[in-house]
Chain A
Amino acid sequence: MVPITTFHYLVVAAALFVLGVIGVLTRRNVVIMLMSIELILNAVNLNLVAFSRMWGRLEGQVFAIFIVVDAAAEAAVGLGILIAFFRNKETINVDEIDLLKW
């Protein structure tokens, strides 16, 4: 078998990134859009960790940890907005979220 190199990891990360972008751009349900954003963040994480391995330095891992923290904050706030929104509009579809003010 071909030995696994950084390149392999980058390909996987790119695939996940693109999948995440597709999800964000095409899905209708906001919850799933948020999940797709998590997917994108994870793809970036994978890149960072793979580069950290490539260069033998830990900065990549540290940044990955920061991104995880960021993702947690993003999920909490995003879902909070979502719930507040659902309360008022009873919908979580992006198609119906198209006004600046109700």
Chain B
Amino acid sequence: MSAAAKDGTKENVNDVSGHALPHAIPSHLHLETPEKPYLDSNELIINMGPQHPATHGVLRVILKLDGEKVLGTECVIGYLHRGVEKIAENRTYAMFNPYVDRMDYVAAVSNGLGYCEAVEKLLNVEAPPRADYIRVILTELNRMASHQLWLGTHALDIGAMTPLFYTFRDREEILKIFEKYCGARLTTHAFRIGGCQYETYAGFEKDVKNFLTFVAPKIDEYEELLTTNRIWLERTKNVGVISGEDCVALGVTGPVLRASGVEWDLRKAQPYSAYSKFDFDIPTGENGDTYDRYLVRMEEMRQSLRIVEQAVNSIPEGPIMAKVPKVIKPPVGEIYHSIEAPKGELGYFIVSDGSTQPYRLRVRPPSLVNLQALDVMVRGLLVADVIAVIGTIDIVLGEVDR
């Protein structure tokens, strides 16, 4: 037992696992510490991460605990910081395209879509309809893949091992389609500025349709394992509750926002690509707890299937690439474009000075902003719930840290 564990004497507070932390007790937390600590021996500061099986990468959460009750948290991020925005300033627009795949690497296609559309907007070109359809199909498949990975890891965090393997089995089929389409499975670099580089391969539509019929019962299978499982209900109901107002104030977007009852989806609110042509619903929750977020994401998978089905049945013929100059030199100006990534609103703010490289490129990462809500969600819960809540926010550290 290290000193901080047993007595909360002030000089020991900063001693977390042997290292002197500059900000062990974050000043912005305003933790209500009573005048005279009552059994402060129970008050521990625990360092969860950056190497911890359940923080989904290298997130480090400093927990202030009273026994097992969480008094406050502080996230320490940046372990995966690669300076994507700085890199963008030294790369041409086309060269930067693959880099965006590395941010949210489980939803690389979505990242690419947002970036390409932002640059297209800046260039004032539009992708041809066929390219839009291909984009929608791949993006929605990727949304499914992302949600499946989320479900697997989230369930694993809560202790159910088996769903992980089921979701990975089914995600594999999506990745196979990606691989056949563009040669890569994870960081796909599927789209180009102005459309798509590759025409769909022969049998693409058949593959996608096969996948649709394959995966629909599998989603029911996941739900069978979890939705009515008593332990799952106990672990997720009323855990990490956040209200819709809090979500809006904290800028939380995506399934977390929708689970809190705010029916807002960029695909409907400000349709981009070909989304205005498809019919789909926005699933929303009521309580804003972990269970609702789970249900919302499960329903989103089904809605994604609906979109893909409509898209693949009505995919038009035509070119897949708009007329884009070989050297991309957008005119001077700035643009903000955002899409509904699996995790929330993914925005790109690009400032062009008329040269071949972005003058400034800002990524608005949904994971980073959503992660801010962690503290609000976990106050007063137990350590085990912190894990569940981190899982339910669905962060990807590559995107948080960029």
Q: Report which A residues bind B (CB closer than 8 A).
A: 83, 86-87, 90
Q: Decide if B12 is an interface residue (CB 8 Å cutoff).
A: no
Residues from chain B with Cβ under 8 Å of A86 in the complex: 39, 41
Residues from chain A with Cβ under 8 Å of B7 in the complex: 90
- Distance in Å from the Cβ of A62 to the closest Cβ of chain B? 40
The residue of chain A having its C-beta at the shortest distance from the C-beta of B8 within the complex is: A90
Query: B1-43: which residues lie under 8 A (CB-CB) from chain A?
Result: 7, 38-39, 41
CA gap between A87 and B39 in the complex, in Å: 4
8 residue pairs, one from A and one from B, having the closest CB atoms? A87-B39, A87-B38, A90-B7, A86-B41, A86-B39, A83-B39, A87-B41, A90-B41
- Distance in Å from the Cβ of B36 to the closest Cβ of chain A? 9
CA gap between A87 and B7 in the complex, in Å: 11
Residues from chain B with Cβ under 8 Å of A90 in the complex: 7, 41
Residues from chain A with Cβ under 8 Å of B41 in the complex: 86-87, 90
The residue of chain A having its C-beta at the shortest distance from the C-beta of B7 within the complex is: A90
B168-192: CB near A (< 8 Å → 1, else 0) gives 0000000000000000000000000
The residue of chain B having its C-beta at the shortest distance from the C-beta of A90 within the complex is: B7
The residue of chain B having its C-beta at the shortest distance from the C-beta of A83 within the complex is: B39
| Interchain residue pairs with CB less than 8 A apart (8) | A83-B39, A86-B39, A86-B41, A87-B38, A87-B39, A87-B41, A90-B7, A90-B41
The residue of chain B having its C-beta at the shortest distance from the C-beta of A84 within the complex is: B39
Residues from chain A with Cβ under 8 Å of B39 in the complex: 83, 86-87
Residues from chain B with Cβ under 8 Å of A87 in the complex: 38-39, 41
B195-238: CB near A (< 8 Å → 1, else 0) gives 00000000000000000000000000000000000000000000
CA gap between A36 and B39 in the complex, in Å: 26
The residue of chain A having its C-beta at the shortest distance from the C-beta of B36 within the complex is: A88
The residue of chain B having its C-beta at the shortest distance from the C-beta of A86 within the complex is: B41
- Distance in Å from the Cβ of B34 to the closest Cβ of chain A? 12
CA gap between A72 and B78 in the complex, in Å: 52
Of A83, A86, A90, most buried by chain B (CB within 10 Å of CB) is A90
B146-169: CB near A (< 8 Å → 1, else 0) gives 000000000000000000000000
CA gap between A86 and B7 in the complex, in Å: 11
CA gap between A87 and B41 in the complex, in Å: 8
Residues from chain A with Cβ under 8 Å of B38 in the complex: 87
CA gap between A12 and B249 in the complex, in Å: 73
Of A83, A86, A87, most buried by chain B (CB within 10 Å of CB) is A87
The residue of chain B having its C-beta at the shortest distance from the C-beta of A88 within the complex is: B38
- Distance in Å from the Cβ of A100 to the closest Cβ of chain B? 21
CA gap between A90 and B39 in the complex, in Å: 8
Given contacts A87-B38, A87-B39, A90-B41, 5 further A-B contacts (CB under 8 A): A83-B39, A86-B39, A86-B41, A87-B41, A90-B7
CA gap between A10 and B340 in the complex, in Å: 82
Of B7, B38, B39, most buried by chain A (CB within 10 Å of CB) is B39
- Distance in Å from the Cβ of B158 to the closest Cβ of chain A? 33
CA gap between A83 and B7 in the complex, in Å: 14
- Distance in Å from the Cβ of B94 to the closest Cβ of chain A? 65
CA gap between A90 and B7 in the complex, in Å: 8
CA gap between A83 and B40 in the complex, in Å: 12
- Distance in Å from the Cβ of A12 to the closest Cβ of chain B? 35
B79-106: CB near A (< 8 Å → 1, else 0) gives 0000000000000000000000000000
CA gap between A68 and B402 in the complex, in Å: 63
- Distance in Å from the Cβ of A96 to the closest Cβ of chain B? 15
